[in-house]
């Protein structure tokens, strides 16, 4: 049994511990150096834009890329004419067709999209001191402080339009957080700059949902505390934000003030391998779900082998999406990535909801991701 130092109460020790934590949180904020210039490039309805480039007759029609409705398909992206009907990414294809009966559904050509993406990154590399590709249609680039970022963004947009036949929108700001928000400010085929002297006013009015990492559930939780804008968050001291929201409290404190010291991530190592399957008919009951595991496991092993990872070294997780589109994930860093291990996780995940299942997924994360995490039960 450990004992408190003589003359020091347990309460005082807890207070000292909290003070140390607050000091550590403050210490992670490095001093400002030379003013950064970050540009976020985001393609406008990328997959659909490529398809319209390949077939100009589609330009005035509402089109979407996704799976067929009779196969439980989901919309990957759609063009702006389709969006006027309420169609959006991640929507079930069946629902999209109800909103827009004349919707032209295309299956998607990933090889073509990857090729256009590579051409886009080559263009961006011509302007970037550093380049971080976030996805097939999105990237950050940092340019020299003496360059005119507004002009660079304009040149990039012009080159992409002329050379690739698609359009991109650009956000310009002193950091990644603000640049990403700015790129969405004047879509499509536009750009927006948040200059250093505009940061405070620009950020204050932002809804909390604009902060990356704040999903619908977290947004509702913040609303319970009457935190709806970044200006609302600023009224809370750092200690209260951390005490109430944990690690996310420190993020809220910084982002609500427009602070983001993250550097561009020049290397994005793969951290997980997963597979999933959406079923033509909902699965009812644990037995039917477990019967899908062997097929999922076979596909997963193929991907793990291609990645060159030992399956036995990965920490497994399962994903379940129910018929009402709610979903849950179950993981255990101490479980084996075997059929028995995945089965145990799947059973536990299914116990959370008594609903039919439309999608099952399994995967494994690298040990570096999970060695400091607790079992998620």
**In sequence order, what DSSP letters do the residues of 30-60 get, joined into one string?**
PPP-SPPEEEEEEESSHHHHHHHHH-GGGTT
Contacts within 8 Å (CB) and 24+ apart, 30-34: 30/261, 34/145
Residue 142 annotated among the catalytic residues of the structure: no
d(CA 187, CA 210): 16
Has 137 been labeled as part of a binding site?
yes
Nearest to 112 by CA among 42, 53, 188: 53
Rounded alpha-carbon distances, angstroms, from residue 312 to 272, 305, 374: 13, 12, 19
Which burial class, exposed, middle or buried, applies to 95 when counting CB atoms under 10 A from its CB (0-12, 13-18, 19+)? middle
SS3 of residue 104 by DSSP: strand
Taking each helix axis from N to C terminus, what angle separates 110-125 and 46-54, rounded to the nearest 10 degrees?
A: 100
**Whether 25 contacts 250, CB under 8 Å:** yes
**Whether 166 contacts 173, CB under 8 Å:** no
Rg of the chain taking only CA atoms, in angstroms: 24
Instruction: Go through the chain and tell me how many residues it has.
Output: 377
Catalytic residue among 51, 138, 254, 335: 138
Q: Supply 2's token pair.
A: 């450990």
SS3 of residue 194 by DSSP: coil
In the annotated binding site, the residues are: 42, 137
Catalytic positions are: 138
Annotated binding site for Mg(2+): 42, 137
């Amino acid at each position: 049994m450990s004992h408190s130092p003589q003359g020091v109460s347990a309460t005082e020790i807890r207070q000292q511990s909290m003070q140390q934590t607050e000091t550590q949180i403050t210490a992670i904020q490095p001093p400002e150096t030379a003013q950064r210039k970050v540009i976020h490039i985001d393609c406008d309805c990328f997959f659909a834009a490529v398809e319209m480039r390949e077939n100009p007759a589609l330009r005035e029609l509402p089109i979407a890329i996704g799976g067929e409705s009779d196969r439980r398909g989901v919309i990957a992206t759609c063009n702006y004419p389709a969006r006027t009907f309420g169609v959006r990414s991640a929507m079930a294809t069946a629902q999209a067709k109800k909103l827009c009966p004349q919707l032209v559904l295309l299956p998607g050509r990933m090889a073509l999209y990857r090729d256009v993406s590579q051409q886009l990154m080559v263009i961006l590399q011509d302007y970037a001191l550093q380049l971080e590709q976030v996805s097939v249609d999105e990237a950050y680039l940092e340019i020299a402080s003496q360059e005119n970022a507004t002009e660079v963004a304009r040149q990039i947009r012009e080159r992409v339009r002329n050379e690739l036949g698609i359009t991109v929108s650009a956000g310009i700001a002193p950091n990644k957080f603000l640049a990403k928000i700015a790129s969405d400010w004047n879509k499509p085929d536009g750009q927006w700059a948040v200059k250093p002297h505009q940061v405070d006013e620009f950020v204050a009015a932002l809804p909390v949902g604009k902060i990356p990492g704040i999903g619908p559930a977290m947004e509702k939780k913040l609303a319970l505390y009457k935190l709806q804008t970044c200006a609302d968050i600023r009224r809370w001291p750092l200690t209260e934000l951390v005490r109430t929201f944990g690690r996310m409290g420190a993020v809220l404190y910084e982002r609500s003030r427009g602070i983001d010291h993250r550097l561009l991530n020049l290397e994005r190592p793969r951290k997980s391998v997963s597979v999933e399957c959406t079923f033509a008919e909902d699965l009812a009951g644990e037995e039917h779900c477990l019967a899908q595991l062997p097929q999922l496991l076979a596909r997963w092993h193929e991907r793990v082998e291609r990645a060159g990872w030992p399956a036995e070294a990965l920490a497994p997780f399962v994903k379940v999406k129910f018929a009402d589109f709610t979903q849950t994930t179950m993981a255990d860093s101490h479980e084996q990535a075997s059929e028995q291990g995945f089965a145990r996780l799947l059973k536990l995940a299914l116990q959370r909801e008594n609903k039919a299942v439309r999608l099952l997924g399994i995967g494994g994360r690298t040990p570096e991701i999970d060695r400091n995490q607790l079992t998620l039960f």
